[in-house]
Amino acid sequence: MKLLLVDDESKLVAALSCLLCKEGFRVDSAPNGDIGIEMACTGVYDIIILERILANNDGIALLKEFRNKGYETPVLFLTAKDTASDRIEGLDAGADDYLAKPFTIEELLARLRALARRKDRKLVGTSLSAAGLILDPLRGEVVKGAETFQLTVKESLLLELLMRNYRQVVTKEFILKKIWGLSSRAARANVDLYIHYLRKKLNILGIKTLRGIGYSLQDVNVSKPTCG
The residue among 78, 103, 123 that closes a domain is: 123
Query: Is the domain of 67 the same as that of 158?
Result: no
In a domain, 174, yes or no: yes
Q: How many CB atoms sit inside 10 A of residue 17's CB?
A: 21
Pair 197, 137 in one domain: yes
Measured CA to CA, the distance from residue 172 to residue 162 in angstroms comes to 11
Q: Which residue has the higher pLDDT, 183 or 128?
A: 128
CA gap 191, 103 in Å, rounded: 38
Question: Is residue 227, in this structure, part of any structural domain at all?
Answer: no
Query: Are residues 6 and 117 located together in one domain of the fold?
Result: yes
Residues spanned by the domain of 173? 128-217
Same domain, 21 and 91: yes
pLDDT of residue 183 exceeding 60, the answer is: no
Q: pLDDT digits over 79-96, tens only? A: 888 888 999 999 999 999
- The structural domain count of the chain equals 2
What confidence score (pLDDT) does residue 63 get?
Answer: 93
Q: Is 2 within 8 Å of 45 (Cβ atoms)?
A: yes
Instruction: Output phi, psi for 118, to 5 deg.
Output: -65, -40
Contact between 55 and 7 under an 8 Å Cβ cutoff? The reply is no
User: What is the bridge-based pairing of β-strands 141-144 and 133-136?
Assistant: antiparallel
Q: What is the pLDDT of residues 20-49, one digit of tens each?
A: 988 888 899 999 999 999 999 888 888 999
pLDDT tens digit sequence for 92-111: 999 999 999 888 888 998 88
Does some domain include residue 65? yes
Same domain, 115 and 12: yes
| 71 and 162 belong to one structural domain | no
Asked whether residue 110 falls in the same domain as residue 144, the answer is: no
- Give the mean pLDDT of 133-146: 86
CA–CA gap between residue 167 and residue 181 (Å, rounded): 24
Task: Calculate the average pLDDT of the chain.
Answer: 84
Q: Is the pLDDT of residue 188 over 50?
A: yes
